[in-house]
Amino acid sequence: MAKSTPPFAPFEWMIAWRYLRAKRAEGGVSVMTWISLIGITLAVAALILTLAVRTGFRVEFVDTILGANAHVTVYHVAHENEAGQMVRTLPEYQSMAERVREIEGVTRVAPLVKGQVMATAGNYNSGVEVFGITREDLSGLPRIVDAETGRGDLDRFDEGIAIGTGVAQTLGVGLGDKVKLISPNGVKTAFGVSPRVKSYEVTWIFSAGRYDIDKTRIYMPFAEAQLYFNREGVADELEVLVSDPEEVERFTMPIAQAAGPGALVWTWQDSAGGFLRALQMEDNVMFVILSVLVLIATMNIVSGLIMLVKNKGRDIGILRTMGLTEGSVMRVFFICGSITGVIGTIVGVTLGCLGAIYIDTIFQVVNWFAGGGVWDPEIRNIYALPAKLQLGDVISAVSLSLGLAFVVTIFPARRAARMNPVEALRYE
Q: Is 417:326 a contact under the CB 8 Å cutoff?
A: yes
In 3-state terms, the chain is what percent helix, strand and coil (to 5)?
55, 20, 20
Measure Cα distances from 378 to 93, 117, 214, 374 in Å. 36, 21, 11, 12
Tell me the residue range of the domain where 380 lies: 10-62+275-425
Local structure of 26: helix, strand or coil: helix
For residues 12-36, average pLDDT: 67
In a domain? residue 71: no
Same domain, 288 and 361: yes
Centre a 10 Å sphere on the Cβ of residue 11 and count the other Cβ atoms it contains: 11
Same domain, 209 and 332: no
CA–CA dist 90, 99 (Å, integer): 14
In a domain? residue 418: yes
Same domain, 233 and 135: yes
Same domain, 88 and 49: no
Same domain, 280 and 393: yes
Number of alpha carbons in the 13 Å side-chain half-sphere of residue 55:
15
Q: Is the dihedral of CA 102, 105, 108, 112 positive or negative?
A: negative
Same domain, 230 and 304: no
Q: Which residue among 232, 261, 290 closes a domain?
A: 261
Same domain, 279 and 251: no
List of residues 6+ apart from 137 with CB closer than 8 A = 108, 110, 111, 222, 239
Same domain, 341 and 216: no
Total structural domains within the chain: 2
Confidence of residue 5 (pLDDT cuts 50, 70, 90): low
Q: Is 114:237 a contact under the CB 8 Å cutoff?
A: yes
Q: Is 171:178 a contact under the CB 8 Å cutoff?
A: no
pLDDT at 198 over 80: yes
**pLDDT attached to residue 398:** 92
Least confident of 148-152, 305-309, 332-336, 398-402: 305-309
pLDDT at 228 over 50: yes
For residues 114-128, average pLDDT: 92
Same domain, 96 and 234: yes
pLDDT at 1 over 60: no
The torsion defined by the Cα of 207, 210, 213 and 216, in degrees rounded to 10, comes to 90
Parallel/antiparallel/unpaired status of strands 217-221 and 124-133 = parallel
Same domain, 354 and 315: yes
In a domain? residue 68: no
Same domain, 317 and 362: yes
Q: What is the mean pLDDT of the chain?
A: 82
How does pLDDT run across 315-359, given as a tens digit for each residue?
Answer: 767 777 776 777 777 888 888 888 888 989 999 999 999 998 888
How does pLDDT run across 36-60, given as a tens digit for each residue?
Answer: 888 889 989 999 998 888 888 888 7
Centre a 10 Å sphere on the Cβ of residue 331 and count the other Cβ atoms it contains: 22
pLDDT at 305 over 90: no
What Rg, from alpha-carbon coordinates, does the chain have? 33
**pLDDT attached to residue 281:** 84
Q: Is 317:424 a contact under the CB 8 Å cutoff?
A: yes
pLDDT at 72 over 80: yes
In a domain? residue 379: yes
Confidence of residue 118 (pLDDT cuts 50, 70, 90): very high
- Whose CA is closest to 167, among 225, 232, 219? 219
Highest mean pLDDT among 62-71, 246-255, 326-335: 246-255
Same domain, 204 and 287: no
**pLDDT attached to residue 351:** 94
Helix, strand counts (H, E) of the chain: 16, 12
Measure Cα distances from 58 to 65, 103, 392 in Å. 11, 29, 15
The helix (run of H) or strand (run of E) holding residue 210 is none
Q: Which residue among 261, 286, 319 closes a domain?
A: 261
pLDDT at 388 over 90: no
Measure Cα distances from 382 to 168, 198, 321, 364 in Å. 17, 32, 67, 16
Local structure of 46: helix, strand or coil: helix
Q: Is 294:407 a contact under the CB 8 Å cutoff?
A: no
Q: Is 221:232 a contact under the CB 8 Å cutoff?
A: no
User: Quick one: how far is CA 335 from the chain centroid?
Assistant: 38
Least confident of 82-86, 167-171, 349-353: 82-86
**pLDDT attached to residue 299:** 82
CA–CA dist 396, 284 (Å, integer): 13
Q: Is 182:195 a contact under the CB 8 Å cutoff?
A: yes
**pLDDT attached to residue 425:** 56
For residues 269-292, average pLDDT: 82
Q: Which residue among 235, 261, 287 closes a domain?
A: 261
In a domain? residue 67: no
Q: Is 100:188 a contact under the CB 8 Å cutoff?
A: no
For residues 131-139, average pLDDT: 92
In a domain? residue 40: yes
**pLDDT attached to residue 25:** 45
CA–CA dist 248, 288 (Å, integer): 30
CA–CA dist 197, 187 (Å, integer): 9
In a domain? residue 4: no
- Whose CA is closest to 48, among 386, 290, 362? 290
pLDDT at 427 over 60: no
This prediction has a pTM of: 0.72
In a domain? residue 72: no
Which residues on adjacent β-strands are paired with residue 205?
A: 151, 163
pLDDT at 2 over 50: no
